[in-house]
Amino acid sequence: MCRQSSGSMIVLFTSILEPRMLYWWLLLFSLAVQANWDQNNSDKAVLGTDEDTPDQDYFELIKYAHLSSVAYCAPLGLETGTIGSQGDKCPSPSCSHEHIKDIDIVTRFNFDNFLDVGNGFIALDPEEDFIYVVVKGTSSSTDWINNLDLVNTEYQPQAILDPRYDVSGICCTDCRVHRGFASFIKTNGYEVIKMILEQKKKYPHREIKIAGHSLGAALGLLIGIELRLLGYEALVVTLGSPKIGNPQFTKFVDDLFETDNVVQHIEEYKSFETLTSGYIRMIHKHDLIPFLPPTNKYTLAGYEYYLGIEGLQQTPMTVYRRATDYLEDKKFDYWDTIKNFRRIDHSSYFLPVTTCVLG
């Protein structure tokens, strides 16, 4: 039986225009310390010695950025079928990307009732034996309401709590997470997992790959946790994920996804898509979201890649393998970041991820 933690931390504030960002900015001002982005990366490996010879994981990061971007076309009527054949329903350059266009969307999910959250698709790769699960990030008012739900709540995966599943001996002891994210698994998460397992039953040899940006990154990780507990391998690749849970939660995640093995694998093969299971995160210079909430009550897990220059024009020499030496754990100049922060920085992951328009 899992031991439940006691007590809770509740953060409440008045909901006004852009309340989430106003609240965090005020808190970030109070926590400003001295640091330097580039100095923190001076001893980290980059993803190639020049632009002509990038390592494999450089191409993989770009591919998952494009996949995550396609999900933002959902409001235009994205439907089943190959991504590149959707015309006006998928006008983003990502939809015609050479590694994306032939991927076949087989299922859409969209939970749009009040206070529900979760939008994305499940797709099959015709060239690789992959099942892709792609979760859209924040865009609707419901998504923003869930992001504003900052109660720190007790957490146990549904697979542990549900007696139908045999996961005895596994427990997330004293885990606490952002309630706005955790509510997804309790309400709609298992509908998505059921859809994934339907495809896995049809194609048992295919590997599950999960992608998402921002809110989609957080929900994608929670889906991945449930799949791992149900006995399935799952690789989770995220962009601009906020902090989701406390140190106990992140240790649980690292143990579940065997992050130590992921570090060794990437160091040896310079690739992460060749992993059947793991948790990979991308963060971007001047993107505030991975530093939120700005408190050590929330921490991060997984293998970290850092996109080291502002804007979209990254090269293999500007993307760093930080592994488990997280930039978010370093002393960080919040004041400098706030001064330079633009909304575009949260979506600038090789391309404008949140924009579904013709390039």
Summarize pLDDT for 295-335 with one digit per residue, the tens. 788 899 999 999 988 878 899 999 999 999 998 776 666 56
pLDDT at 40: 66
Instruction: At 93, give phi and psi (nearest 5°).
Output: -55, -25
The residue that leads in pLDDT, 8 or 52, is 52
Q: How far apart are CA 269 and CA 58, in angstroms?
A: 12
> Is residue 67 included in any domain, yes or no?
yes
Q: pLDDT digit string (tens) for 216-259?
A: 999 999 999 999 999 999 999 999 998 999 999 999 999 999 99
Question: What's the pLDDT score for residue 34?
Answer: 37
Q: Which long-range contacts (CB under 8 A, 24 or more apart) does 83-91 make?
A: 83/123, 90/356, 91/356, 91/357, 91/358
Q: Tell me, what's the pLDDT at 320?
A: 95
Percent of the chain topping pLDDT 90: 54
Residue with tokens 């330079």: 340
Beta-carbon count within 10 A of 319 CB:
27
- The CATH number that applies at residue 46 is 3.40.50.1820
Residue 31 has pLDDT above 50, yes or no: no
pLDDT score of 4 more than 70: no
Q: What is the pLDDT of residue 53?
A: 86
Task: Establish if 355 belongs to a structural domain.
Answer: no
Which residues constitute the domain of residue 240?
A: 19-336
Q: Residue 143 above 60 pLDDT?
A: no
Q: Is residue 56 in a domain?
A: yes
Q: How many structural domains does the chain have?
A: 1
Q: Indicate the pTM of the whole model.
A: 0.87
Residue 286 pLDDT level (bands cut at 50, 70, 90): confident
The reply to whether 158 falls in a domain is yes
Closest by CA to 229, choosing from 180, 181, 164, is 164
Better pLDDT: 46 or 152? 46
Supply the pLDDT for residue 173.
93
175-189 tens-digit pLDDT? 999 887 888 888 888
Q: Please, are residues 201 and 176 in contact by the beta-carbon 8 Å criterion?
A: no
C-alpha 33: how far from chain center:
27
- In order of 62, 66, 333, 338, 353, the CA distances from 345 in angstroms are 16, 16, 16, 11, 10
Answer whether the bond into residue 293 is a cis peptide, omega within 30°. yes
Model confidence over 68-120: pLDDT tens digits?
A: 999 999 889 999 999 999 999 999 999 999 999 999 999 999 875 544 467 89
Give the residue ranges of DSSP H helices in the chain: 19-30, 56-70, 141-148, 158-161, 179-184, 190-202, 215-229, 247-256, 259-269, 334-340, 343-347
Q: How many CB atoms lie within 10 A of CB 119?
A: 27
Determine the pLDDT at residue 309. Answer: 86
Asked if residue 343 is part of any domain, the answer here is no
Q: What is the pLDDT of residue 142?
A: 41
Determine, yes or no, domain membership for 12. no
Q: Is residue 223 part of a domain?
A: yes
Tokens of 308: 């080291």
Cα-trace Rg, the chain: 19
In this structure, how many other beta carbons lie within 10 angstroms of the beta carbon of residue 243? 24
* Proportion of the chain above pLDDT 70, given as a percent: 79
> Is residue 249 situated within a structural domain?
yes
DSSP state, 191? H
